[in-house]
Amino acid sequence: MRILILGGDGYLGWPQAIYLSQKGYDVAVFDNLARRHFDLKHGIDSLLPIQSLQRRIERWAELTGKQITKYHGDATDYKALAHAFQEFEPDAVVHFAEQRAAPYSMIDREHAVYTQYNNVIGTLNVLYAIKEFAPSCHLVKLGTMGEYGTPNIDIEEGFIEIEHKGRRDVLPFPKQPGSFYHLSKVHDSHNIMFCCRIWGIRATDLNQGVVYGAETYETALDPELATRFDYDQIYGTALNRFCIQAATGYPLTVYGSGNQTRGYINIKDTVRCIELAIESQPASGEYRVFNQITEWFSINDLAAQVERVGTRMGLSVQREVVSNPRVESENHYYNVVHTRLLDLGLQPHLLDDAELESMIALTLKHRDRIDQRLILPTVNWRKAENEVAMVERIPTPA
């Protein structure tokens, strides 16, 4: 099968590309390198040094003899996207090419507009490219568990059966997105479902939880194949931030009550889930939703695990409560149905002490690349305008 990966230079896109290439798929990547430009503009960098996309592809070929095709382009540029579709003729498209951070979307009007334009228009272009150039192509779209919010009922996989005034129907599960980024994903889901219904497109919408981990089996083959490890307050996740803070002796910053609970998944499972979705192609016109998580934790749960493992490693780890910059429920019910990928054969890598020790050890190894000023939140949901200051990188002293 020929697989086109949109956003193939990203944290998930690159590991996905080499995972599928290793499995024998014919892979092409399409990316506009926007994430790298954001880092250059704001003085931010991945904890792990990462090579250029071109060098990554070359190194993969040197190690495995397998070729990956590269297209430079923006999904909002239909001409560039159409060229990739027409030339590569994909059997499946894996769509990662979106602005992926809630804090980014809440910086100010400009960043909110960019997020929604880039994500929604980009996905619309993908849908039209499939209709025009690859009508039998399977769209595998990365959504987010953040579309659902935190309702006071179990979160089903995409749809819910309801009874209203004596009548029953199966309807899309109610959406309660928590940022302009999450809203863009809701718009994507509606557009994809609509196009499946009217054009007969086949699509899998993967509502993914928070991804953790810095390595897959393929990226671990060589340092030049490494993917990102983000820890800054825009793109870094709570778990990454806690590992960085434990390694540098900085208190673990718990937002608010710390009871906010979310679904999580190991990056090794993410790349496998995509393969499982590709292998189990939906019927023409079918829109299906998988909840792509393996377990869930509160912020306090994560802090306790990092504190326990870090202390065992000889680190001095403490917690500090900070004002929550987000507008969200801090004490809520959370139970998620996530059986469909397990039914397809997913064997999860769960978050254990060994995984955490590996992540903390990685941060210790690259401690000289840590800039503590990038960790604390400056983007507040309640403000219409926030500043993300340009910074000069100053490594943390050893």
pLDDT in tens, the chain (398 residues): 999 999 999 999 999 999 999 999 999 999 999 999 999 988 899 999 999 999 999 999 999 999 999 999 999 999 999 999 999 999 999 999 999 999 999 999 999 999 999 999 999 999 999 999 999 999 999 999 999 999 999 999 999 999 999 999 999 999 999 999 999 999 999 999 999 999 999 999 999 999 999 999 999 999 999 999 999 999 999 999 999 999 999 999 999 999 999 999 999 999 999 999 999 999 999 999 999 999 999 999 999 999 999 999 999 999 999 999 999 999 999 999 999 999 999 999 999 999 999 999 999 999 999 998 898 899 999 999 997 754 333 333 33
Name the residue ranges covered by the structural domains of the chain. Answer: 2-213+266-293
Whole-angstrom CA distances from 248 to 277, 366, 367, 369 are 39, 11, 7, 11
Structure pTM? 0.96
Active site residue: 11, 104, 185, 204, which one? 185
Among this protein's residues, is 237 annotated catalytic? Answer: no
Among this protein's residues, is 181 annotated catalytic? Answer: yes
At residue 277, φ and ψ (nearest 5 deg) are -65, -45
CATH superfamily of 2-213+266-293: NAD(P)-binding Rossmann-like Domain (3.40.50.720)
Active site residue: 19, 71, 181, 235, which one? 181
Among this protein's residues, is 144 annotated catalytic? Answer: yes
Active site residue: 144, 216, 253, 270, which one? 144
